[in-house]
Amino acid sequence: MRLRFLAAAAVAALLTGAGIGMAASQSTAPEPTENDAKAFIAQVEHDLAREDEYASRAAWVQNTYITVDTNWLNSRASAEFNAMAVKFAKEASRFDTVKTDPVTRRKLDLLKRMVVLPSPSRAGAAEELARLRTTLVTDYSTAKFTYKGKALTLDDMEQMFRTLRDPVATRTLWEGWRKVSSPQMKEPYSRLVTLANEGSRELGYRDTGALWRSWYDMPPDKFAARTDQLWSQVEPLYKDLHCYVRGKLSEKYGDAVQPKTGPIRADLTGNMWAQEWGNIYDIVAPKNLSAGYDLTAAMKQHGYTPEKIVRTADAWYQSIGFAPEPATFWERSQFTRPRDRDVVCHASAWDLDAKDDLRIKVCFTVSADDFFTAHHELGHNMYQRAYSVQPYLFQGGANDGFHEAIGDFAGLNALTPGYLKAIGLIDHVPGPEADIPYLLHMALDKVAFLPFGLLVDKWRWEVFSGAVDPAHYNEAWWALRKRYQGITPPGPRPANAFDPGAKFHIPNNTPYMRYFLANLYEFQFYRAACRQAGWTGPLNRCSIFRNRKVGEKFEAMMKMGASKPWPEALAAFTGEHDIDAEALVEYFAPLDAWLKEQNKGQTCGWQ
């Protein structure tokens, strides 16, 4: 995580700089030149880089030690950033018609798109927006639900969801989390939307959703259409998986709990948001076929701890040629939930100084999920360090989907039986008979996630555009969840429910389309890496562990950062110039054929 904040002292320096800022915006100012544009970019990069480390450390403290004071400090820094980011974006727009070199032009364009929630320029708006953002995240991160006399945190409930098979209990926890975490968010979230849209319009966008869609090196409407095209490629595979899982759940719980037709009941999927279904593999596992091992059990048997999981992930990156995490990483990261304070437990990776102060913030237990997440989060760190060689405005992913995909690509490799045997977690690599169980388990997370990854921002796009008003927030949310996922709540929702807010990325205002894109990019990366490694067997059995040649080419792409449009970065590693779901469909093709056989005679889909 890089936080791009600017302190008040830098504000004054920027606005009074020679020929830049307020003076340059006056009506008597001469027409800007290419040299003016370059001078503007140089000063902005200098000041942003100087202030970023300070603000990042303040945010780290607030995330790992939530108090009234750390919330105040984080809100103050966020307000300063938003106010200045809007000023920078407007200032960059002054140079839209100036002819300049491609590097300066790209930096100007990136500068206009760097803010997620632009605050209006009027007095007090940035401070109000910052307070709302901090309040929403704090409400989410400190919520606890009392169950059987015990106050449960979200990660307590997530842990229970992994193995809980009582539909009364799962419904109680599912509804309980939504009761304590999000109803109070509805009003402040609505106000936040109003402020962000006002700021976005000042930048020349219809609304904040259009701003977010502008980040992908194509017009916003074209990007929205491209996401629909990508969904059409994977929707048939998802529906086959949905049909099979629904049938198994009905066998397990009976038609009264989970009907054989229609949507799946959300709380039966082993995940608080029904976004990934891997935790219910025991219910849907194919008869007479076995993956040959239980990764969570193997980790516990071999004495894994949260830190050992992270060290194993670091060793994977080292095996393909990346430098190890610095010593300070192990001293300063948060690997487990502290017992003495509230923290933001949602996993994240941090780069605090654009050099080598890399960290992760997680609340790990010993599980296969966290084994994958460790490889994922360290992927962010490796990307952050790789592009730190770039100028400040290029220190970011080719797009936000790249940042997520790089970690997922590593996680995909980390789950292969060949890798697990190589590091001593399993004794032997199962034969071909294990491929269907392996692919099914993988699809329960990767394929099941795709519609959820798509709909979260589709909901926000509707909210930002005004197509959905606050009175219909929840109704619209469940309409999208039913349309794309075929998921329904376990019972009627209260009139005051704000179920989108029960997902961290909504109160945290983290754009979510990146995760949908990442789930496709990662398979493009994976297939390209396997081809480079000369792999000719089933794609799901390929591992690039210890392949430094592939790692070298992968790191070369990462070092590009945001310096080139994402199609050029994609082509640098894969040879392909557009995102495509074909690699994912190819990876799961053997499973899809098997699913179609299992679903014969079933009524698939949902109305």
Given a contact cutoff of 8 angstroms between Cβ atoms, the answer to whether 448 and 484 are in contact is no
User: How many angstroms separate the CA atoms of 566 and 572, rounded?
Assistant: 10
Distance CA 151, CA 373 (A): 26
Render the burial of 368-401: b for 16+ CB within 10 Å, e for the rest. bbbbbbbbbbbbbbbbbbbbbebebbbbbbbbbb
Angular region, 488: left φ>0, alpha ψ -120 to 50, beta rest: beta
Q: What are phi and psi of 411, to 5 degrees?
A: -65, -40
Question: What size, in residues, is the chain?
Answer: 607
User: What's the helix, strand, coil split of the chain in %, to 5?
Assistant: 65, 5, 35
Rounded distance, CA 59 to CA 2, Å?
Answer: 10
Q: Report the distance separating Cα 135 and Cα 141, nearest Å.
A: 10
- Report the half-sphere exposure of 134 (CA within 13 A, side-chain side): 23
Q: What is the DSSP letter of 399?
A: S
Strands (E), 172-286: 264-265
* Euclidean distance between CA atoms 64 and 67, whole angstroms: 10
Computed over its alpha carbons, how large is the radius of gyration of the chain? 24
Which tokens in the block code for residue 350?
Answer: 């941090």
* CA 362 – CA 258 distance, rounded (Å): 34
What sign for the dihedral angle of Cα 512, 514, 515, 520? positive
Is 404 in the active site?
no
Give the DSSP H or E segment for 360.
strand 358-361
Positive or negative: CA dihedral 66, 71, 72, 78: positive
> First CA to last CA across the chain, in angstroms?
41
Give the residues across from 146 on adjacent strands: 151
Residue of 505, 568, 576, 582 marked active site: 505
Helix 513-532 with 400-414: angle, nearest 10 deg: 50
Residue 334 · residue 361 · CB < 8 Å: yes
Q: Which residues contact 48 (CB under 8 A, 6 or more apart)?
A: 4, 6, 392, 393
Tokens 């994958």 -> residue: 372
| CA-to-CA dists, residue 482 to 273, 362, 486, angstroms | 13, 31, 4
Distance from C-alpha of 307 to C-alpha of 487, rounded to nearest angstrom = 36
Collapse the DSSP code of 477 into the 3-class scheme (helix H, G, I; strand E, B; otherwise coil) and give the result.
helix
Q: Please confirm, yes or no, whether 128 is among the known catalytic residues.
A: no
Distances (CA, A) of 360 to 346, 376, 449: 10, 11, 23
Active-site residue among 377, 404, 522, 555? 377
What amino acid is encoded at 250 in this protein? Answer: S
∠437-441-444 over CA atoms, to 5°? 140
Q: Which residues are catalytic?
A: 377, 505
